Amino acid sequence: MKQLIKPLALSALTAFAATAAQAEIKWNMPTPYADGTHHTQNVRQFADDVATATDGEMEIIVHSGASLVKHPEIHRAVRSGQVPIGEVFMGLLGNENPLYQADNIPFLVTSFDGAKALWDATRPEVEAAMAEQGLQLLYAVPWPPQGFYSKEEITSGADFEGMRMRAYSATTSRMSELLGATPTTVQTPEIPQAFSTGIIEAMATSPTTGVSSQAWDYTDYYLDARAWIPKNMVFVNARAFSRLPSEVQEAVLEAAAAAETRGWEMAIAETDAKTAELADNGITVYTPNADLTETLGNVGQTMTNEWFEEMGYDSDNPIADIVGQ
């Protein structure tokens, strides 16, 4: 009998070991945006890359559209360990640290090259700030640049005077004030009606949002000013990450690096495609003339100076060399 039990026990142990070796690490990942956005598409590819690189040992389950955790709560959820990984709009964290407002300062940079230079300059500080909160940055990807939608064409700084402009943050309110416009708070679902009833006459947002909200139904012009190029960040709970096997950590970091490169390329393609779609649907798309460029640049310089002062930067800071790119 003992001779029969021993082989059976050995067989059971072997089966258990095989099962254990194939056990998956499952992480739930809340993201704030719908599946159609390039950010969510990129996140899903990132998750697939991790699964492939680890031969299925790690699975990142993406919960898009704020279906698992609401957008304003994702940062706290990852910090507390409620979820191990998440994605947020970087500017959303600006109230707790002005560093996160860098890519929301109007006209600090107005091109993807400038936005990348700004990210390279601020990334070490962002990583350090997140580390103090028990977080580890994985990657960041931009949105298309922000422009101005309006009922009437804007050809000079004087056209902003008295204009009722949608404001949804302290930054957009300050920009409106410096332009001579009247900042007006309007929630996203109310935008079409606000334009139709004259509550607002202009707003600043991306071509992506313009297309998704069918801006051609309530505006006629899109000023492609490339006012600012905000980003989303993907980050992890540092303790949860440290508990991963070293080879899985490496796979996650490699997939993150690929996601950042891919995401920037997607944002550039998205900008071109959505801007063209605005024009195809009857919106007049145009760029600032010399007079308007000067006006917008002056507003940008003022807001950049204010942000520098808030951050404690001086003119020797590397970011100073990036302004205007």
Q: Would 2 be classed as within a structural domain?
A: no
Residue 198, classed as helix, strand or coil, is: coil
> What does the alpha-carbon distance between residue 303 and residue 305 come to, in Å, rounded to a whole number?
5
Predicted confidence (pLDDT) at residue 266 exceeds the cutoff of 80: yes
Which one-letter DSSP state was computed for residue 322? T
Q: What is the radius of gyration, based on Cα positions, of the chain? A: 24
pTM: 0.85
- Residue 13 predicted with pLDDT over 90: no
E strand segments, 156-288: 164-167, 182-185, 202-205, 221-223, 231-237, 284-286
Q: 10 in a domain, yes or no? A: no
**pLDDT attached to residue 190:** 87
Q: What is the pLDDT of residue 130?
A: 96
- For residues 57-85, average pLDDT: 95
111 band by pLDDT with thresholds 50, 70 and 90:
very high
In this prediction, residue 53 carries a pLDDT of 96
Phi, psi (deg, nearest 5) at residue 157:
-60, -30
- Taking the C-alpha atoms of residue 264 and residue 225, their distance in angstroms, rounded to an integer, is 19
Kindly tell me if the per-residue pLDDT of 9 is higher than 60: no
CA pseudo-torsion sign 208, 209, 212, 214: negative
Residue 4 banded pLDDT, cuts 50, 70, 90: very low
Amino acid 112 reads F
Alpha-carbon distance 122 to 267, whole Å?
A: 20
Q: Is the pLDDT of residue 146 over 60?
A: yes
pLDDT at 247 over 90: yes
Range of the domain at 271: 25-144+229-278
Higher pLDDT residue, 214 or 5? 214
Dihedral of the alpha carbons of 307, 312, 317, 323, in degrees to the nearest 10: 10
Q: What is the mean pLDDT of residues 165-194?
A: 89
Distance of CA 267 to the CA centre of its chain: 10
Residue 1 lies in a domain: no
Statement: residue 19 has pLDDT above 50: no
CATH number (domain holding residue 112): 3.40.190.170
* Cβ atoms of 135 and 70 closer than 8 Å: no
pLDDT band at 225 (very low <50, low <70, confident <90, very high): very high
Q: What is the DSSP letter of 23?
A: P
**pLDDT for position 213:** 86
- The predicted structure's pLDDT at residue 23: 43
pLDDT score for 20: 40
Which band of pLDDT confidence, cut at 50, 70 and 90, is reported for residue 317? confident
The pLDDT, as a whole number, for residue 7 is 46
DSSP labels, 219-268: --EEE-------EEEEEEEHHHHHTS-HHHHHHHHHHHHHHHHHHHHHHH
User: Over 70: is that where the pLDDT of 175 sits?
Assistant: yes
Residue 150 resides in a domain: no
Per the domain annotation, does 288 fall within a domain?
no
pLDDT band at 16 (very low <50, low <70, confident <90, very high): very low
**Coil, helix or strand for 30?**
strand
Structural domains in the chain (count): 1
- Cα 16 vs. chain centroid, distance in angstroms? 43
Q: Of the candidates 92, 62, 91, 96, which has an alpha carbon nearest to the alpha carbon of residue 228?
A: 91
What's the pLDDT at 6? 43
| Residue 320 binned pLDDT confidence (cut-offs 50, 70, 90) | confident
What is the C-alpha separation between 30 and 52, in angstroms, rounded? 21
> Which residue in this structure is represented by tokens 């995401």?
263
Confidence of residue 275 (pLDDT cuts 50, 70, 90): very high
Residues comprising the chain, all counted:
325
pLDDT of residue 323: 77
Whether residue 24 has pLDDT greater than 90: no
Q: Which residues pair with 205 in a beta bridge?
A: 147
Average pLDDT over residues 143-162: 94
Residue 74 lies in a domain: yes
Question: With bands split at pLDDT 50, 70 and 90, how would you rate the model's confidence at 50?
Answer: very high
Cβ atoms 221, 151 nearer than 8 A: yes
Write out the E strands in the chain: 25-30, 58-63, 85-89, 135-142, 147-150, 164-167, 182-185, 202-205, 221-223, 231-237, 284-286
DSSP 316: T
| pLDDT score at 141 | 97
Q: Is residue 98 within 8 Å of residue 307, measured between CB atoms? A: yes
In-domain check, residue 162: no
Q: Is residue 161 classed as helix, strand or coil in its secondary structure? A: coil
Instruction: For residue 318, tell me if it sits in a domain.
Output: no
Question: 13-27, 140-154, 282-296 — which is least confidently predicted?
Answer: 13-27
